[in-house]
Chain A
Amino acid sequence: MAQPVIEARDLNLVFQTGDGPVQALKDVNLTIGQGDFVSFIGPSGCGKTTFLRCIAALEHPTSGVLKVNGMSPDEARRRRAYGYVFQAAGLYPWRTIAGNIRLPLEIMGFSRDEQEERVKNVLQLVDLDGFGKKFPWQLSGGMQQRASIARALAFDADILLMDEPFGALDEIVRDRLNEELLKLWARTGKTIGFVTHSIPEAVYLSTKIVVMSPRPGRISDVIESPLPRERPLEIRDSKEFIEIAHRVRDGLRAGHGDAM
């Protein structure tokens, strides 16, 4: 088997807070392969964001081993292993859309020509041709989030980490962006880590669904999706889809004791 893109072994993370220690991650074991689309689903506070931030080296595990492309997360970040998409688009209001996408390229020292070239390409990839000269406030929420995805794609990281990227958008826009995200994934072959708390979204998008439960944050089930990679929206009415959704729901309920 090829080298896993992300590998976590017995990962623990304890935050020291004013009210005492909080175990955000407990004994997390997970392997993510090249080209996987992995969703993390669970109630809030179960450590989804924390796990994603560990991969991005924004947070450091208290114990256990975490490898990204076979390296430590810090090393992987220096090698531009991933692009990160936050829940809010977080575009700089004083930069145009193109200027925002250029931000990581400027920081990473790409040449002027290369910057222009890449901005043009990713704008096309997220279907925002011709919006480069606009300022963020001139775009809808969905378009802003697409621009932030373009920004994460601009420097050719082969992992895309997304923390509830469509959480603030309405359902119709969300459906469209999900469809586009799948197309983008098929075209680019990236490995995607995607946090959500929508069951249909997780099932629709993923090749692997990681169900998590809180207090302490841990993985309660990992589901390999039998759905084909090619997924029209109508697949959500199929028998397989509904079966997986059931299993996810069961996993969530089990993780929550019988409180739900």
Chain B
Amino acid sequence: MRSILPVLTVIAAICGIWYLAAVRMNATWVYDQAAREGREVMLVDLVAETLTQERPVLPAPHQVVKGLWDGVAGQKITSKRSLVYHGWVTLSATLLGFAMGSVAGILLAVGIVYNRAMDLSVMPWAIASQTIPILAIAPMIIVVLNSLGVTGILPKAIISAYLSFFPVVVGMVKGLRSPDAMQLDLLRTYSATGAQTFGKLRLPSSMPYLFASLKVGVAASLVGTIVGELPTGAVAGLGSRLLSGSYYGQTVQIWAALFAAAAVAAGLVGLIGWIERATLKRMGMVR
């Protein structure tokens, strides 16, 4: 209960600043409008008019909340205007991409730890892959895959996997290498095989590292999916809501989609955090 007060204070402060910014940024339009009609603008009018515009430069918090509410609860969830529908489209591609990225990341990490050639060759490529702006190659991936007849959820999931494998590789390599020389020597004194060393020491030791990087990876996955939804003129998904919102100047729609994406991300990270706690607790690693 005591931690809720600071949280509320921060939220209140952010809302306050946001309202001020909304008044300031939307004022130009109000003044232009008033000048055209040849009337004076009182402060009260200014506040009232800046916070209720249909297409504000910066929507006020209550407008975003209303947009979110309409999107989530105001529609049938099968409707093209439902955020639940679009959220699910994005979420399903994110989950598929995250699963592919995580599996690829873990396999690459095992290869890097056990194979010297891979150790020397894979990491530079993995790093290079992440320095390429995703916005630049996402359209190419989609176009190439489309021409190969791969359409639907898969191209988006591949872009999502492309962003999420990297933190998993980095974290997992570190985790698999975390046992110290003494722990490895102990297993040597038992003449343990490579597979036993992996299963009984390296893999369990890597769990805390794996979960930390899965949390980063799942957020990256979501970003990847949304980026994958932008260039195709996709008709569904949170990315398409962002895109169509910006076409038609529907800023409330953009902000509502952004907050929906943030909520999905928070939910995914929270879910992994929960699995992490449950797993580490079962392993006896949480006190």
Contact = CB atoms under 8 A, between A and B. Distances in A.
B188 A58 contact: yes
Interface string B116-127: 000000000000
Interface stretch (B76-84, B190-198, B220-228, B239-247): B190-198
B284 A88 contact: no
Interface in B126-148: none
Secondary structure of the B contact surface, majority rule: helix
Nearest to B180: A90
Contacts of A135: 284
Contacts of A95: 284
B182 A92 contact: no
A108 B190 contact: yes
A77 interface: yes
A71 to B, nearest CB: 14
Interface residues of A, number: 22
A96 interface: yes
Contacts of A92: 183, 201, 204
A95 B201 CA distance: 11
Residue among A84, A107, A135 with the most chain B CB within 10 A?
A: A107
Interface string A104-119: 1011100000000000
12 contacts: A77-B189, A83-B189, A84-B189, A88-B182, A90-B182, A90-B186, A92-B204, A94-B283, A107-B190, A107-B192, A135-B284, A137-B287
Nearest to A151: B186
A131 interface: no
Contacts of B182: 86, 88, 90
B66 interface: no
B70 interface: no
A82 B189 contact: yes
A103 interface: yes
Given A90-B183, A94-B204, A104 B190 contact: yes
A94 B187 contact: no
Given A86-B182, A90-B183, A94-B283, A103 B189 contact: no
Given A84-B185, A107-B190, A108-B190, 6 more contacts: A82-B189, A84-B186, A90-B183, A92-B183, A96-B284, A107-B191
B55 interface: no
Contacts of B283: 94
Instruction: Classify chain B: how many residues form its interface, as a range.
Output: 10 to 19
B189 A94 contact: no
A93 interface: yes
B189 A56 contact: yes
A152 to B, nearest CB: 9
Interface string B200-212: 1100100100000
B224 to A, nearest CB: 32
A86 B284 contact: no
A92 B184 CA distance: 12
A83 B191 CA distance: 12
B191 A93 contact: no
A78 interface: yes
Nearest to A78: B191
B200 A103 contact: yes
Contacts of B285: 93-94
Contact of B189 (A58, A106, A137): A58
Interface string B276-287: 000000011101
Contacts of B187: 107
Contacts of A103: 190, 200
A242 to B, nearest CB: 36
Given A94-B204, A107-B196, A77 B186 contact: no
A106 B186 CA distance: 14
Nearest to A88: B182
B189 to A, nearest CB: 5
A82 B183 CA distance: 17
Interface in A147-175: none
Nearest to A83: B189
Contacts of B189: 56, 58, 77, 82-84
A108 to B, nearest CB: 6
B281 to A, nearest CB: 11
Given A107-B196, A107-B200, A93 B284 contact: yes
Nearest to B189: A84
Contacts of B196: 107
Contacts of B284: 93-96, 135
B188 to A, nearest CB: 6
Interface string B169-189: 000000000000011011111
Cβ-closest 7 pairs across A and B:
A94-B283, A135-B284, A84-B189, A107-B190, A104-B190, A107-B192, A94-B204
